[in-house]
A = this chain, B = another copy of it.
Amino acid sequence: MANKAVQDFYPESLSYCYGCGRLNEKGLQIKSYWDGDETVCEFKPQPHHTAIPGYVYGGLIASLIDCHGTGSAALAIYRHEGRQMDSDPPVRCVTASLQVQYLHPTPLGQVLQLRGEIKEVKGKKVTTEITLSADDQVCAKGEVVAVQVDEAWIAKYFSK
């Protein structure tokens, strides 16, 4: 399988998330990929995603870290279980907790890069550390604890 985004394998009815749902036309539609042992996501904020003039809104930064965190958690569970992303049952995680430290104002107008490091996969719980950079400057760091939603729950919504 070529390097594909985990969000492209979410079941249709779980693909409307504002942050990462490929079917939410008003959403951010972020994508999370493996890059070696790290996960990556790139996103270019729009002009209205401003906070103070010229800089990116902190809530968007939190949203990107959140959604790349849950995407990274799903990637990690597939790899941990030695499974391909098109195998059943599909993996979908939700956020249990999110921490963000704003280290440096994030400039608007360029592509942001998020990199995720999987710290722990423990049962259904995955802890990921995320950095968000602009032009190789780390602007924010975050930790996302994500939890896999169980198969019964997935089945309820699963309409592939």
Enumerate chain A interface residues (CB-CB to B < 8 A).
13-14, 16-19, 21, 24-27, 48-53, 57-60, 62-64, 66-67, 94-102, 149, 157
Q: Which of B16, B62, B149 lies in contact with A66, CB distance below 8 A?
A: B62
Q: Is the CB of B102 within 8 A of A100?
A: no
CB-contact partner of A62 in B53, B59, B94, B96, under 8 A: B59
Q: Is the CB of A59 within 8 A of B100?
A: no
Chain B proximity of A58: nearest CB distance (Å): 5
- List the B residue with the shortest CB-CB distance to A149: B52
**Which B residues are in CB contact (< 8 Å) with A157?**
52-53
A16 to B54 Cα, complex, angstroms: 10
A58 touches B99 (CB 8 A): no
Interface pair A52/B99, CB less than 8 Å apart = no
The reply to whether A18 and B95 contact each other, CB–CB distance below 8 Å, is no
Which residues of B sit under 8 angstroms from A58, Cβ to Cβ?
Answer: 19, 66, 94-95, 98
